[in-house]
Structure formats: structure tokens, C-alpha cells
Structure 1
């Protein structure tokens, strides 16, 4: 879908407002007319109103929810059109000063295993080191919860979320009770896949490559921390199943 042509839309609104404006009619000398009339013919006003309604659908999607049953001389529609005109003319200014509606990520709301281990690094601008330390901390917390020091990272999480029954010295993490459903299996396969992706695709390459001093360094690091935070939350909330 192509973007709305703002210049055209504003022009159409202005023409509609011009045609539907209330004015005092010209009368013959000695003839008085009480009240006002619409400047343009009703046929042209209706045609332009149709176009304006389409513009309003794009700029103010909820405008029809309060539309009255009757709108004499397009008075209500004129008000909505005027609002849409301002929105189009000042869209850039409003966005710059008010921001947009996209969600914002507050790093302090990351799982404590992640944020608690990297806060000072992050605030100091050491974004890649923060990701490395977060990966190490999540691994350490998982080892601690499972009581295992013999395996780590990908191997640790593959065994922890394995669908096999627990064995001596090899407890499992369960995100839900085993009800025999495909959901039970997919949830734990997903947890293993997430952990493998993080430690194979982020943790290990991070030891050898760096995004430091690039324009998107902070954004990339934030996305990576968010993923480690999700894994940390799953491990933290999981139930331990032992032999």
C-alpha cells in the first residue's frame, strides 16, 4: 500500500472546508436574509465530503465512532476535517516533540540475573561486555539451580530442558506439567532452541568479534540482552524434576 500524499490530502481538505463554509448570501437591495448558507453547491460538497472521509479513515481511524446520525451542512465533518488537516500539517513536529507510540524498553525491567550482573557496564557504555557477562551469569545461575558444574552453556540447557526423564545427577527443568500434549513437547524444544541460539550464535562469536563503536551497537546489545533475559526468566520459573 502506498503512503498517503499529504500535500494532496491537505489540499482536498482545504477545498472541502472552502466549499462548505457558511457565508451570508448576496441579496438584492432592500432584501434582508437572516442566517447563512453554504458557500458551494450541495452536490459538490457531497462529492468532496466523500474524498475527505477517505482521508479521515487514514489519518484518524476512529473518527466514525462518534459520527452523528445527521450532520446538517457538514458541520460535524468540517470539525473532523480541520483536526485531520492539523494532524497532517504538524505530524513531523508532533512526532519530534511527543514521540511515537512504539513500546519502549526499560533495561531495569530485564530479569535480575541479567540486569543485576551488567548494570554498571551498561551505564558505562560497555555494551558488548555487558552481553558477554549476562550470558555468563545466566549460565552460572542455571548451573546453581540444577546443582551442576560438569556441563555449561548449550550442553547444560539441552540436558536441562530435555524431554527425557531425569537421571541421577541430571535433573530436568520443566516449564509445565507433562500432560502428554504436543504443547508440552514444543515448549521444551523451544527453550532448548533458544538457549542454543543464544550461546552458539551470540555468546561464542561475541568472544571473537565486536560491534563496538558502530552506530547500532547499543540497539543490537539491547536486543541480545532481551533474549538472555527471556531465557533467564524461563529457567528461574521452571520447576526442577529429579530422580
Structure 2
């Protein structure tokens, strides 16, 4: 779901007001007290996660604890500018292409990856997403004897289900060429995701960190696989 821009701007600006620091003689204090700031920050931090990716490391991760709310305020100010002027900036800089947000990915992909992603561990985040999708597919099929490539090869087989071997049907099995090509295509896609994305990334200790843009593309591929698997019908002998 797209972000509610008006609501987000209201929350950000409210926090910025609370975190501003008027001069009182020679000391500084925020306009809002700690309780007000903490309550507002609980919402604002979630907005920042959506609007200003890795904000905690780019702004709040720097400086001393005494500047904690000031650094939060700076992140919120940057997010306000992003929301208010993003379309203008993209148009003026000549990049008005569609964009994707990881927060809109299928939950199996993003929820498995989000905490690692926010800390900049992109390769590990992609690996975690693949593991989550594998686990959810096992749960859906009630199978623990197979995993990853072998699991999807068998689950997406065009063969009829057998005892202990249910199938996943991406579209209804009406015997048409569309059904056959869709089933075959998703099986090949799943094999590719685990052979070319999950398996190489599992060796993160011996590989350089993935560039963020490349990791996002990989996560998008896994999200698409997750949507197909989640929406597929289970066909069994029972």
C-alpha cells in the first residue's frame, strides 16, 4: 500500500516541532518533553524507514548521545523534503522512471529481510528472505523432507499429486497451454532464484557486500516468487 503522504508529513512536522530547541539563557532543551518525544518518535521512526532508507546510519548513527533528538530531527527534516519535493527533483534531474519500495514486497520477502537490510547487510538480508520463502512453502505443503530447489521442482511438477507429495498449481489445471507454460515457467523461476540468488549469497563471509541496488533487484525477484507460491492452490490426494 502506498504511503499516506499528508498523514506522514503531519507526523514528521509535529515531531520536528517537539524536537526543536529554543535557547533558554545558556542552555538548550527541546520544546517537547521526553515522554512526548518518545511517543512521537515511535511513529516517526517507522515513517523514516519507508521514506529515508537506512536513516539511522546516515544521520542518527553519527554524533553523541546528547544530540540524539537533534539527529532524529534532521532525519525527519530530510524526510519532509523527500515527500514534498520528490516528484519535482526526479523531474528536474531527468529521472522520472518508476521506483520500487521494499516495503511493498510480499511479506515473506521483506519481513524476513528488513532488520538486516536496515543495518546494511544486504547479502544476508536477501539470504534471509530466501530462507523465509522456503520455510513458508514447506509449511504450505506440510513437507520437511525436501527444501529449496528440490522442493519447488516437486511441488510445481505437472504430474498428478501422490501420497505425501502435494502439488502447487499457480493457475487452475485445465490442461491448457497457458497452464502448462505458467507451471513450467514458475518452476524454472524458482530454480533460478535459489540457484543464482540464494546459493551464492549463502557464502556471504567470502564475498563482498552486494550493492544496495543489486540486492533490491534480487529481493524483488524473491518477492515475485513468494506471491506466486502464496497464492497457489495446493492439490493433494486427500
User: TM class by shorter-chain length?
Assistant: 0.5 to 0.7
Shift of 1:125: 0.8
1:239 is aligned to 2:236: no
Distance 2:138 2:155 in 1: 10
* Residue aligned with 1:186, SS: helix
Structure 1 residues 116, 94: closer, same or farther in 2, change over 3 A? closer
1:171 is aligned to 2:166: yes
- Runs of 4+ off more than 3 Å: 93-99
Structure 1 residues 94, 223: closer, same or farther in 2, change over 3 A? closer
Corresponding residue number in structure 1 for 2:214: 220
Structure 1 residues 203, 95: closer, same or farther in 2, change over 3 A? closer
* Contact 1:122/1:130 (8 A) holds in 2: yes
CA deviations on 1:182-203 (whole Å, 9 max, x unpaired) are 1110101011101110111111
* Residue aligned with 1:131, SS: helix
Shift of 1:207: 2.0
Distance 1:97 1:191 in 2: 39
* Residue aligned with 2:190, SS: helix
Which structure's residues are more often helix, by fraction? 2
Structural mapping, 1:175-190, within 5 Å: 175-190=170-185
Structure 1 residues 145, 94: closer, same or farther in 2, change over 3 A? closer
Corresponding residue number in structure 1 for 2:223: 229
Q: Which has the larger radius of gyration?
A: 1
Structural mapping, 1:6-155, within 5 Å: 97=92, 100-155=95-150
Shift of 1:95: 5.3
* Residue aligned with 1:203, SS: helix
Number of residue pairs the alignment of both structures matches: 148
Superposition CA RMSD, Å: 1.8
Distance 1:240 1:186 in 2: 18
TM value normalised by structure 1: 0.58
Shift of 1:121: 0.9
Shift of 1:120: 1.1
CA deviations on 1:129-185 (whole Å, 9 max, x unpaired) are 000100100000000000000000000001111000000000000111111111110
Shift of 1:100: 2.3
- Please list every run of 5 or more consecutive structure 1 residues that lacks an aligned counterpart in the other structure: 1-92
Distance 1:138 1:113 in 2: 6
Structure 1 residues 142, 189: closer, same or farther in 2, change over 3 A? same
* Contact 1:128/1:210 (8 A) holds in 2: no
Shift of 1:113: 0.6
Shift of 1:98: 5.7
Corresponding residue number in structure 1 for 2:193: 198
Structure 1 residues 222, 95: closer, same or farther in 2, change over 3 A? closer
- Please list every run of 5 or more consecutive structure 2 residues that lacks an aligned counterpart in the other structure: 1-87
